Amino acid sequence: MNTQQRNPEPIAKTILYHGYEIHYSMSGVGKEQLMVLLHPAFSDQNAFPDQMAAFAKNYAVLTVDLIGHGLSKVKNTTHRLDITPEHIAAIIKQEGYKQAHIVGVSMGALMAQYFAYTFPEQTLSLTGMGGYSIHEENKEVAKAQMASNITLILRALFSLNSFRNKVAQMTCYTRQGQELFQATMAGFERKTFRYMSGLQHVIKNRPDFKATYPVLILIGEHDIALAHKMAKQWQEAVPHSQYHEISGGGHCAQLDQPEFFNKRVLEFVDGIN
């Protein structure tokens, strides 16, 4: 009998929460430790095509459609993105784990921090790429995001195809990455924007906050200057955190340069164990 078992396809699952379903998938089922991958805005859990199999060799891997994204098209609820930590904690418990390594990209990096802030005892480590600290209100970032969001909303109202093309171009540096990201936006609907309002409850000044877990901060080489500035400020605010630039990558470098991204994340997480 061949003892070398291949990693099976991810298992699609749901969790019922306050009357609605959140969709997620599990890879590497049965592994001792769990990794949670949180996707960017307007995308879905398929934003990690080259991470699920690579990470599942040694870890159980959870990918999830955040509320309002992908298949998690909830109805009749006032919940917004700031409910995400509760969703993740409930799924972790449902899968039989007590803790997890949390990995987030872009908006996912913000939600990863918010989970770690809400449930520090369940956080083995935190990795964020293309993000910034949620524990400081930054007027420069807020102004830039407001201008960008207005432009994107107007584009989405005019044409969803145009919106998807533009977001993919802004998000990834390589053509391959752009095509992969655009494919993850297939389920995007205009009403997804309403769930983004929950971010206003996530980003707040918390002068006494101190991370109690290892932190890795990543940034794509070709991400915008403001993103690089904010990533460095985040790293400087977290003593003993690690910081790496993903060569050849854009804002979502896990799609542009998956091998480099995977190497950095696994070196970091494996080094904790």
- The tens digit of pLDDT for each residue in 51-95 reads 999 999 999 999 999 999 999 988 889 999 999 999 999 999 999
Radius of gyration of the chain (CA): 17
C-alpha 196: how far from chain center = 14
C-alpha 188: how far from chain center = 16
Question: Which of residues 154 and 165 earns the better pLDDT score?
Answer: 165
Could you count the other beta carbons within 10 Å of the beta carbon of residue 119? 17
- What pLDDT is attached to residue 2? 34
- What pLDDT is attached to residue 150? 64
Question: Which of residues 153 and 260 earns the better pLDDT score?
Answer: 260
Question: Which of residues 183 and 140 earns the better pLDDT score?
Answer: 183
- What pLDDT is attached to residue 241? 97
Could you count the other beta carbons within 10 Å of the beta carbon of residue 226? 14
Q: What number is the average pLDDT over the span 113-120?
A: 98
* Mean pLDDT for all residues in the chain: 92
- What pLDDT is attached to residue 218? 98
Grade residue 197 by pLDDT with cuts at 50, 70 and 90: confident
Round to whole Å and give the CA distance between 83 and 111: 10
- What pLDDT is attached to residue 8? 66
11-272: CATH architecture? 3-Layer(aba) Sandwich (3.40)
Percent of the chain at pLDDT > 90 equals 77
- What pLDDT is attached to residue 144? 67
